[in-house]
Amino acid sequence: SYAAAARKLLPRHDTRQTLAALAALIDALAPETVVCLGDSFHDRAAVERLGDQERAEIGRLTARTRFVWIAGNHDPAPPPSGWGEVAEEIADGPLVFRHEARFGPVAGEVSGHFHPVAALTVRGRGFRRRCFLTDGHRLILPAFGAYAGGLNARDPAIAQLFPHDYDALLVGRDAVRRLSWRQLRPDAAGVG
């Protein structure tokens, strides 16, 4: 992984853990198409750092399900041939899938890039959880990777994309909890 190559102190098998989670979702949901919203490979050299097991798993997943890889700011180069299609963005009915949300009014935009996290205080304890953000017109997805970071859902870079109210959807073990952005707390200065 990028983290391992950069000598970051993360578990060695973060890529395997992410691929196992993706395979479990594909097995459970049997989608016709999987759209990866960019930053799937952390940089241009990421594919070369994959082990044989990881390459085989990606090959297995992309052989049985249509994959569309949206180019992200970290991975503008396409993955190896045979691993699916590559696009800057795609439209499917009323939805447009792209890496980074566009400023201004939209209807049916689904994006990634910001990897939102909700910061909350519950019973005096603060914590951060990955979340989806939506105002009913735009949906920003959290990071899927096992050890990906995240940007606070109230950060100005995110908040300016929503001209009015927006909600965070936090996925728990048994339920999805919807919270107004007002119920979330901003990060303290210097925390991100």
pLDDT digits (tens, 9 = 90+) for 35-55: 999 888 767 778 888 889 999
Stretch 144-153: mean pLDDT: 85
| Dist CA 108 CA 147 (whole Å) | 28
> Hey, which residues does 127 pair with through a beta bridge?
120
**Domain parsing of the chain, residue ranges:** 1-88, 100-192
Stretch 61-72: mean pLDDT: 94
CB 34 within 8 A of CB 66: yes
The pTM assigned to this predicted structure is 0.87
- Categorize the per-residue pLDDT at 191 as very low, low, confident or very high, splitting at 50, 70 and 90: low
* pLDDT at position 11: 57
User: What are the two backbone dihedrals, phi and then psi, of residue 140, each rounded to the nearest 5 degrees?
Assistant: -110, 125
